[in-house]
């Protein structure tokens, strides 16, 4: 086999073959299996999508394709052959020769993967230059060309910037250029767009797909977002509990999933709540301007939230959604305007609010990990608001905690667990229980489902809907995911750059005519159709010819 990366073998040849790969992980003083015998075959020029919930072992398998395991993991069985080289038996020096040149890796967080002290272009060409693939000057010229193909602004000069001087989406594209620079045979994308918002995600996806097509590179694309993988992959492999559930070409998989588990993944997006109109306003935000120091974030924001309904606030990151929540909770004092609750104005600052006012408005956060004190048990977390607001003690408090745990579909066996012993969905449920414990009227949900897998998201959304029905709770639901909005909201507020673009009933907002921004936002949400991205890009080009 040729070792010259500039002369790839014929398309269709088998590039990577993994047979019965078994990987063990070490935790809690013993080894247990993470990957339980998975086969994987990848041909040149083919893109394989790996999907599954968190903990399914998809990242571990993706890294194993490079012959790499994280500290605390080891390959215990099976073979991994990359272009005739046995990666399980290969020595480290041998593997290092492949990594970065013939096999490249694009990580989820581009920001954490760049060295902040070096210019982008130096990092982009590093692998190609240092391994002597081509002279430095050629690499730099090639990098500029890659930047151009990835549609980065000012491709000639953007490489001279430092990582903090470009946006997250741009950084992710530079990272793709870095991976592509030595013209690898295989690229592993590990959730590269998960941290980006929808409008940016579309650009990054399109750029990645075109460049992988152009150089006929084989790729493994790891994600938990089905709609994204449908755009990228030729073949999809579904993993669960470290085992393969099924594998099929993308179109077959989308149209005719065989396994029950796969079908349940597909059906998640079908959840939709019928909207109900209400005139009884529980919380209203009137003409609020807010700023962080000299940096103004909210401009004349007016939102009214009807009792017992869900108002979804949508918009990309930086649009002022979370700042609005901070103004409502009193963490940020507005410069102009006021927030009123049940017709009475709320004091602008948290310190001036009464215990009763605090109790009525509760908040649930995006990252359940950081929203719970890692040193407190589930019981401590839920019991504190009961004691603090309602003065419950002893047996009464314990009974109420059990009751709350039942409400969120968990049981009392969870009481003495620490947050680190819970899964992502369970953590978010505990946060919901903590909010419920205060008997609130309004719960502000700040991206509560965006860090979770789809199937877990659905569970949380169903729970929130059921609780709303039972206790007539009002939700202010901050999200950038339109599917979530469809599932849970009665009304929608669209925000863009600190202004409210429009507010209205779900049916009004989600049907034409759209203001420009709403249309961009709605059209950027990936759909479960392998042709969606192609159609979208074609549509956008014809609408605004560059």
* Residue selected from 44, 63, 429, 506 as contacting other proteins according to rule CB under 8 A: 429
Kindly tell me which of 192 and 459 has the beta carbon lying closer to other proteins.
459
Kindly tell me which of 418 and 505 has the beta carbon lying closer to other proteins.
418
Integer Cα distance of 407 and 420 in angstroms: 21
Q: Which of 441, 305, 284, 282 shows the shortest CA–CA distance to 360? A: 441
Q: How distant is the alpha carbon of residue 37 from its chain centre?
A: 28
Q: Which of 282, 286, 310 shows the shortest CA–CA distance to 298? A: 286
Q: How distant is the alpha carbon of residue 28 from its chain centre?
A: 28
Are the C-beta atoms of 221 and 50 separated by less than 8 Å? yes
Residue 370 beta carbon to other proteins: minimum distance, rounded to whole angstroms: 4
Considering only 104-112, 225-233, 326-334, 535-543, which stretch makes contact with other proteins by CB under 8 A?
326-334
Residues in CB range of 459: below 8 A, 6 or more apart: 409, 425
Residue 371 beta carbon to other proteins: minimum distance, rounded to whole angstroms: 4
Kindly tell me which of 216 and 354 has the beta carbon lying closer to other proteins.
354
Kindly tell me which of 48 and 332 has the beta carbon lying closer to other proteins.
332
Q: Is 434 in the site for other proteins (CB under 8 A)?
A: yes
Residues in CB range of 45: below 8 A, 6 or more apart: 11, 12, 216, 217, 218
x-or-dash string of contact with other proteins, 260-279, rule CB under 8 A: xx--x---------------
Q: Half-sphere exposure of residue 218, counting CA atoms within 13 Å on the CB side? A: 27
Residue 497 beta carbon to other proteins: minimum distance, rounded to whole angstroms: 25
Site for other proteins in 97-156 (CB under 8 A): none
| First and final C-alpha spacing in the chain | 44
Site for other proteins in 22-81 (CB under 8 A): 26-29, 55, 71-72
DSSP bridge partners of 442: 361, 474
* Residue selected from 91, 375, 395, 543 as contacting other proteins according to rule CB under 8 A: 375
Kindly tell me which of 343 and 374 has the beta carbon lying closer to other proteins.
374
Residue 230 beta carbon to other proteins: minimum distance, rounded to whole angstroms: 21
Q: What residue has token string 């399914």? A: 56
Kindly tell me which of 208 and 363 has the beta carbon lying closer to other proteins.
363
Considering only 127-135, 273-281, 425-433, 496-504, which stretch makes contact with other proteins by CB under 8 A?
425-433
Considering only 86-94, 133-141, 310-318, 404-412, which stretch makes contact with other proteins by CB under 8 A?
404-412
The number of residues in the chain equals 546
Residue 414 beta carbon to other proteins: minimum distance, rounded to whole angstroms: 8
Kindly tell me which of 155 and 347 has the beta carbon lying closer to other proteins.
347
* Residue selected from 411, 470, 516, 544 as contacting other proteins according to rule CB under 8 A: 411
Considering only 8-16, 105-113, 186-194, 325-333, which stretch makes contact with other proteins by CB under 8 A?
325-333
* Residue selected from 302, 373, 507, 534 as contacting other proteins according to rule CB under 8 A: 373
Are the C-beta atoms of 461 and 269 separated by less than 8 Å? no
Are the C-beta atoms of 203 and 175 separated by less than 8 Å? no
Q: Is 329 in the site for other proteins (CB under 8 A)?
A: yes
Q: Is 409 in the site for other proteins (CB under 8 A)?
A: yes
Kindly tell me which of 171 and 451 has the beta carbon lying closer to other proteins.
451
Kindly tell me which of 367 and 520 has the beta carbon lying closer to other proteins.
367
Integer Cα distance of 186 and 220 in angstroms: 8
Whether residue 359 has a cis bond before it, omega within 30° of 0: no
Integer Cα distance of 119 and 115 in angstroms: 8
Q: Is 535 in the site for other proteins (CB under 8 A)?
A: no
Tokens read off for 413: 């066996």
Kindly tell me which of 29 and 544 has the beta carbon lying closer to other proteins.
29
**Neighbour tally for 359: CB within 10 Å:** 18
What's the chain's Rg over C-alpha atoms? 25
Rama region for 64: left / alpha / beta (φ>0; ψ in -120 to 50; rest) = alpha
DSSP bridge partners of 48: 220, 235
Cα distances from 528 to residues 171, 226, 255, in angstroms, run: 26, 7, 10
Tokens read off for 429: 């449920």
CA angle 407, 412, 413 (to 5 degrees): 130
Three-state DSSP at 512 gives: coil
Kindly tell me which of 160 and 373 has the beta carbon lying closer to other proteins.
373
x-or-dash string of contact with other proteins, 454-483, rule CB under 8 A: -xx-xx---x--------------------
Q: How distant is the alpha carbon of residue 40 from its chain centre?
A: 25
Site for other proteins in 330-369 (CB under 8 A): 330-331, 350, 353, 355, 358, 362-363, 365, 367
Site for other proteins in 189-248 (CB under 8 A): 240-241
Kindly tell me which of 137 and 331 has the beta carbon lying closer to other proteins.
331
Are the C-beta atoms of 278 and 332 separated by less than 8 Å? no
Integer Cα distance of 473 and 471 in angstroms: 5
Are the C-beta atoms of 172 and 193 separated by less than 8 Å? yes
Kindly tell me which of 110 and 368 has the beta carbon lying closer to other proteins.
368
* Residue selected from 23, 166, 348, 410 as contacting other proteins according to rule CB under 8 A: 410
Task: Tell me the number of residues near other proteins by CB under 8 A.
Answer: 54
Kindly tell me which of 340 and 376 has the beta carbon lying closer to other proteins.
376
Considering only 257-265, 301-309, 523-531, 535-543, which stretch makes contact with other proteins by CB under 8 A?
257-265
Residue 266 beta carbon to other proteins: minimum distance, rounded to whole angstroms: 13
Strands of 85-86's sheet in order across: 30-43, 14-27, 73-82, 85-86
Give the residues lining the site for other proteins (CB under 8 A).
26-29, 55, 71-72, 240-241, 260-261, 264, 329-331, 350, 353, 355, 358, 362-363, 365, 367, 370-376, 384-385, 388-389, 408-411, 416, 420-426, 429, 434, 438, 455-456, 458-459, 463
């Amino acid at each position: 086999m040729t070792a010259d990366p500039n002369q790839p073998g014929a398309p269709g040849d088998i590039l990577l073959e993994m047979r019965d790969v078994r990987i063990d992980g070490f935790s809690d003083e013993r080894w247990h299996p993470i990957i339980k015998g998975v086969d994987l075959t990848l041909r040149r020029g083919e893109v394989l999508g790996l999907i599954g919930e968190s903990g399914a072992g998809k990242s571990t398998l993706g890294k194993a394709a490079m012959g790499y395991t994280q500290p605390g993991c080891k390959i215990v069985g099976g073979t991994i052959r990359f272009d005739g080289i046995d990666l399980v038996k290969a020595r480290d020096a041998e593997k290092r020769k492949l990594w970065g040149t013939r096999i490249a890796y694009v990580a989820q967080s581009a920001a954490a993967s760049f060295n902040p002290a070096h210019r982008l272009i130096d990092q982009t060409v590093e692998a190609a230059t240092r391994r002597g693939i081509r002279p430095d000057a050629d690499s730099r010229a090639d990098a500029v060309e890659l930047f151009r193909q990835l549609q980065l602004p000012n491709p000639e000069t953007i490489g001279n910037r430092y990582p903090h001087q470009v946006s997250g989406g741009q950084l992710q594209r530079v990272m793709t250029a870095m991976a592509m620079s030595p013209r690898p045979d295989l690229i592993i994308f590990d959730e590269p767009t998960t941290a980006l918002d929808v409008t940016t995600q579309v650009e990054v996806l399109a750029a990645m797909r075109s460049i992988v097509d152009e150089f006929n590179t084989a790729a493994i694309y790891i994600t938990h977002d089905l709609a994204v993988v449908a755009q990228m992959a030729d073949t999809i492999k579904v993993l669960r509990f470290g085992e393969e559930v099924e594998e099929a070409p993308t179109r077959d998989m989308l149209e005719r999933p065989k396994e029950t588990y796969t079908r349940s993944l597909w059906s998640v997006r079908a959840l939709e709540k019928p909207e109900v109109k209400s005139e009884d306003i529980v919380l209203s935000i009137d003409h609020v301007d807010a700023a962080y120091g000299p940096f103004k974030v909210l401009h004349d924001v007016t939102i009214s939230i009807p009792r017992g309904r869900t108002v979804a606030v949508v918009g990309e990151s930086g649009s002022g959604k979370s700042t609005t929540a901070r103004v409502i909770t009193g963490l940020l004092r507005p410069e102009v305007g006021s927030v009123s609750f049940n017709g009475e104005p709320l004091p602008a600052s948290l310190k001036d609010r009464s215990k009763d006012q605090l109790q009525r408005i509760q908040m649930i956060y995006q990252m359940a990990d950081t929203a719970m004190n890692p040193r407190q048990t589930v019981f401590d977390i839920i019991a504190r608001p009961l004691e603090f607001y309602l003065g419950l003690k002893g047996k009464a408090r314990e009974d109420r905690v059990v009751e709350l745990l039942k409400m969120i579909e968990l049981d009392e066996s969870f009481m003495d667990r620490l947050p680190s012993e819970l899964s992502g969905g369970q953590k978010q449920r505990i946060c919901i229980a903590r909010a419920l414990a205060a008997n609130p009227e309004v719960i502000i949900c700040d991206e509560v489902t965006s860090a979770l897998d789809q199937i877990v998201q659905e569970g949380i959304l169903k729970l929130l809907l059921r609780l709303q029905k039972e206790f007539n709770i009002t939700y202010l639901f901050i999200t950038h995911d339109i599917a979530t909005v469809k599932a849970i909201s009665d009304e929608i507020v669209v925000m863009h750059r600190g202004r409210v673009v429009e507010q209205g009933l779900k049916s009004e907002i989600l049907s034409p005519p759209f203001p420009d921004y709403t249309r961009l936002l709605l059209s950027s949400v990936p759909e479960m159709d392998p042709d969606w991205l192609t159609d979208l890009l074609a549509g956008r080009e014809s609408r605004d010819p560059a």
